[in-house]
Structure 1
Amino acid sequence: MEKPKGDNMTKEKGVPKSKSENEFPPTYQEATAGYEEMQVQFSWDDKAVRRIFIRKVYAILMIQLLVTVAIVSLFTFSGPVRFYIQTHPGLYMASYMSFLATYIALTCCGDLRYVSLATLSMACMMGFMSSFYNTKSVLLCLGITAMVCLSVTIFSFHAKFDFTSCQGVLFALCVVMLLCAITLSIVVPFGYVPWLHAIYAVIGAVLFTLFLAFDTQLLLGNKRYTMSPEEYIFATLNLYLDIVYLFSFLLQCMGGGGE
């Protein structure tokens, strides 16, 4: 008997079936179908967080400014308080040292309680300074500061110009201001020079106006450099110091002597 041919009788067991020729990997459009929707969702979430961050910063800033205006008004309109401060000028340096200590503690721990202490120290320092100028000068500088801050804030919100990329200009102005301060410290013991002090005050007012625009655009987060929404205490303190120092330099530039 002849053995049957094994060509057609062999059983193929355990051999995996090959993939169909119609099965291909997904296309780029299919693989990234939900990516654009996720990106839009993340963008909306980031804008919502940024809006909450801005509202929180300006809410705290308004409280700081109200406290400062109240203390400045007390030191300006109250005759006995004004006389006491003018006869005890050392209180100005004490308030300034208190502010520096509070600011260092604030940068180390970032506690909101230190913001209130820093605000109170700086407000007292501005009150002590205002007591040496006449009432009309203080009121005029308060009004000018308010108008400048409002104008700079609106401009920073809508302008396409990026102030956050101008660190070199701000640094150069800081160096010029430092040189003027050193010159004043050397010249003042030999005699008061009004024009040199006026230049120093004008440079300071311009510098902190630019710093206000710089810090406002950092707050908005739509320029080259931005600030994290978690740093609302630092952002609030930056804006507050810009406004307070702007007021102090305007007072030095345009303020008259005490009554």
Structure 2
Amino acid sequence: ETRRLFIRKVYSILSVQLVLTGVVSTFMAMHVPTQIYVLTHGWPVTLSMVTSIALIVALMCYKDKHPENMYLLATFTIVEAFLVGTTTTAYCAAGYEGVVLEAVFLTGAIFIGLTLFTFQSKIDFSFLGAALSMGLGALILWGLFAMLFGVQTGYAYALIGCILFSGYILFDTWLIMDRLSPSEYVLAAIMLYLDIINFFLYLLQLL
């Protein structure tokens, strides 16, 4: 019963995070003055990325302290929603609204499918942990190399990103089911939220 309540709490928080992200992203893409400002100024994105990293560190320190953890989580979600919004705004401004919607629906369908599979499966997904960590490290280095030397990451990079975060959805869902403490509901929500957001962003590149 405790585990069931924990899971329900995690997915309730996650749902609020995703709705907030959708609302912020839609506003940014549809509100023309905001769209123009986002597309012509780079500093808000840089500041948001730095803030996001700082908030993750703070959340790790205060993950078990209520209500500080919820305040930090709400702030983190707003910052991440802005970062997602900058990407969707660029796509919409270029006339790719259909691609964004397709990515949203595909991300939702794949997340639900992988979640149901993990919940119904008896597989121990602990074997994925080390491989996912190494894969994420390699992907980050690949992205940094491309950014520093002006190289296009291309289709393969996006495809590997999608596969990697599909694995993270499986692994983190399994952790929530079997390993995480009920007091770690904020950590669990952040894990799944970042899995979904990253999968969505790589899928956008792939489409």
Whether the aligned pair in 2 keeps the contact of 1:76 and 1:135 (CA below 8 Å) is: no
Aligned residue pairs: how many?
Answer: 198
Counterpart of 2:62 in structure 1 is 109
Q: Please give the TM-score of this superposition, normalised by the length of structure 1.
A: 0.72
Report the CA distance between 1:56 and its aligned residue. Answer: 0.6
Higher Cα Rg, which structure: 1
Report the CA distance between 1:201 and its aligned residue. Answer: 1.5
Q: Where does 1:237-252 land on structure 2 (aligned, <5 Å)?
A: 237-252=190-205
Counterpart of 1:96 in structure 2 is 49
Using the alignment, how far apart are the partners of 1:108 and 1:211 within structure 2?
Answer: 22
Counterpart of 2:115 in structure 1 is 153
Whether the aligned pair in 1 keeps the contact of 2:128 and 2:167 (CA below 8 Å) is: no
More helix by share: 2
Counterpart of 1:65 in structure 2 is 18
Report the CA distance between 1:247 and its aligned residue. Answer: 1.0
Whether the aligned pair in 2 keeps the contact of 1:212 and 1:243 (CA below 8 Å) is: yes
Amino acid at match of 1:213: L
Using the alignment, how far apart are the partners of 1:81 and 1:201 within structure 2?
Answer: 28
Counterpart of 2:166 in structure 1 is 209
RMSD: 1.5
Report the CA distance between 1:186 and its aligned residue. Answer: 4.1
Aligned partner (choices 76, 82, 85) of residue 124 of structure 1:
82
Whether the aligned pair in 1 keeps the contact of 2:115 and 2:173 (CA below 8 Å) is: yes
Using the alignment, how far apart are the partners of 2:52 and 2:138 within structure 1?
Answer: 25
Counterpart of 2:140 in structure 1 is 178
SS in 2 for 1:227: coil
Report the CA distance between 1:52 and its aligned residue. Answer: 0.6
List gaps (5 residues or longer) in structure 1.
Answer: 1-47, 255-259
Q: Please give the TM-score of this superposition, normalised by the length of structure 2.
A: 0.89
Q: Say whether 1:55 aligns with 2:12.
A: no
Using the alignment, how far apart are the partners of 2:137 and 2:116 within structure 1?
Answer: 28
Counterpart of 1:197 in structure 2 is 154
Using the alignment, how far apart are the partners of 2:30 and 2:23 within structure 1?
Answer: 11
List gaps (5 residues or longer) in structure 2.
Answer: 64-68
Larger RCO, structures 1/2 (Cα 8 Å, 6+ apart): 2
